[in-house]
Amino acid sequence: MKNILVAVDLKEGTDKILDNAFEQAQNFKARLWIVHISAPEPEFVGYEAGPQYIRDMRATELKKEHHELKRLSDNVNFKGVEAESLLINGGTVEMLAAEIDKLHVDLVVIGHHKHGFLHNAFFGRTDVSLLDNSKVPVLVIPT
């Protein structure tokens, strides 16, 4: 096992998911890819970008996400496991599947959050979709 991808949403539970991924990477002497899939750009989903303040807010949000990912990968590198972070815009399952192939990932670590019926109906379940479509083992961590 050479490459482990950990998918994080930068919400509550990220540290628990990352700790588990770190342990796996340490045990297998693998490289850790810390990946966050950010919401797609408004144009991607068929909407105009809107006024400048909307674009500025989105840029600020992406900058914060980038800094947080960098902090996470720096901490892992400091502890002795090679890590790199990636911030990608797009649909979560599709982008994760593409990165799994591109990075030759051997294991995926992802968190499981409980959501209500309406959330699942509108947004789906990333963990279940990934399990259904993944060609590599997926370790699901309850958060």
Which tens digits make up the pLDDT trace of 52-91?
777 788 888 999 999 999 999 999 999 999 999 999 988 8
Q: What is the pTM for the complete model shown?
A: 0.83
Q: What pLDDT, on a 0 to 100 scale, did the predictor assign at position 121?
A: 39
The DSSP code sequence of 7-58 is E--SSTTHHHHHHHHHHHHHHHT-EEEEEEEEPPPGGGGT----SHHHHHHH
CATH of residue 59's domain is: 3.40.50.620
Domain that holds residue 47: 3-142
What is the number of structural domains in the chain? 1
